[in-house]
Amino acid sequence: MTSMGRWARAASVVTLAATAALAAGCSASSSGSGGNVSSEASLNTNFGPPEKTTVNVAVVPAMDSAGFFVALHKGLFAKEGLTIKYTPAISSETAVAEQLKGKLDISGGNYVSYINEAAVNHQPIEVVAEGSIMQQGAQTIFTMPNSKIKTIAELKNQLIGVNAPGNIDYLLGVSVLSENGLSATSVKFPDAKMENFAATGGAIPFPFMAQDLAEGKIAAAIMPEPFASQAEQEYGAVPLADLNQGATQDFPIEGYVVTKSWAAKYPNTLRRFLAALETGQEISDTDRGAVETAFETIDKPQNGQVTAPIGAVMALDTYPIGVDQTRIQRVANVMYQYGLLPSRFDVKDMLLPTSFFNFSPYSSAASCPGKVRG
């Protein structure tokens, strides 16, 4: 899948979505920075005074976090009286550890790690908002052009890079491997015992994964956007398989989490954060130009910054509103199916109570499947 291929595919998807939106009676937003002025203008700030005005937030610097970065770029958190201190999250596991220590207030990361923290480690965390639902091209397995691996079957006995052991990329990978006749034990994933990955506990931060692939430290790599498009353009990486298929098609990827004690201590701060975030989600789901601009203006590449050429071709996710129990339960069910949970787990107790925040004023493609992302 070349960069031109990504762009052509993105254009065709938008065209099909526009047709579906009109058929469903849903409104289509235009692309460009002016498409969501009404969303910004109607930002709800009618909450009590924030108990805390400076909020430490760590999110994975990927397209899954578009709602957060759009809200940050447009100053929506500031309009809610919040100063956001953003740091890029290496993984959800490390973020939760920082939250439990009180060093971090809110994190945005993958559901697999969060569910594992709640189900296996019994950590008192709460999903307060959804972040992303995977779409075509958003999560991909890559190899290098000179690799002998040309099919999924040829990944047998090979080392596949993921950004953290046993996380969402691992789950997406083993699901697609299974669909193609390979078990999780027939391939290898980095772990803390391997010399190249010991310093990071087996994790490979996304900004460094394409380089590891190009240097031969791993035979294949699972990468989300924008790292996928960057790997193609900067290193010539070749897509082997799109992970949006089979049991994990249209799969929920990312959510935003706080500890239960933090939510109880800072309810107005959380409501104000959610109001800004959900407006960012709504904009991200309808205005591609806003997403591109938000990522292009991040201060450093390691913090999520992309160039304009990457911004133009990167695939986007769907950015849902609120917290859907059925959708997140699907993640736990697939985790159990592929051995990441020892028993079935009901996610109900790790979700924000429905009475805490009114999500109904906001809308996205999750509530209108044909809604166009400009």
In this prediction, residue 301 carries a pLDDT of 86
What is the pTM for the complete model shown?
0.86
Distance CA 193, CA 322 (A): 39
ω into 124 cis (within 30 of 0): no
Q: What is the mean pLDDT of each run of 10 residues along the chain (374 residues)?
A: 38 39 34 53 88 96 95 97 93 85 95 95 96 95 96 96 90 94 94 90 89 96 94 95 94 97 97 97 96 94 90 94 97 95 97 95 62 43
* Topology classification of domain 139-248: D-Maltodextrin-Binding Protein; domain 2 (3.40.190)
Adjacent-strand bridge partners of 86: 57
Tell how many helices (H) and how many strands (E) occur in the chain: 14, 9
CATH fold match for the domains 3-134+250-350 and 139-248: yes
Domain formed by 3-134+250-350, architecture? 3-Layer(aba) Sandwich (3.40)
How far is 154 from 187, CA to CA, in rounded Å?
10
CA dist 204 and 218 (Å) reads 10
- How much is the pLDDT for 96? 87
Gap between the Cα atoms of 31 and 257, Å rounded? 30
Query: Max alpha carbon distance in the chain (Å)?
Result: 60
Q: At a CB cut-off of 8 Å and minimum separation 6, what does 34 contact?
A: none
pLDDT for res 364: 66
Domain boundaries, the chain: 3-134+250-350, 139-248
- Identify the three-state secondary structure at position 349: helix
3-state secondary structure (DSSP) of residue 115: helix
User: Do you know the residue count of the chain?
Assistant: 374
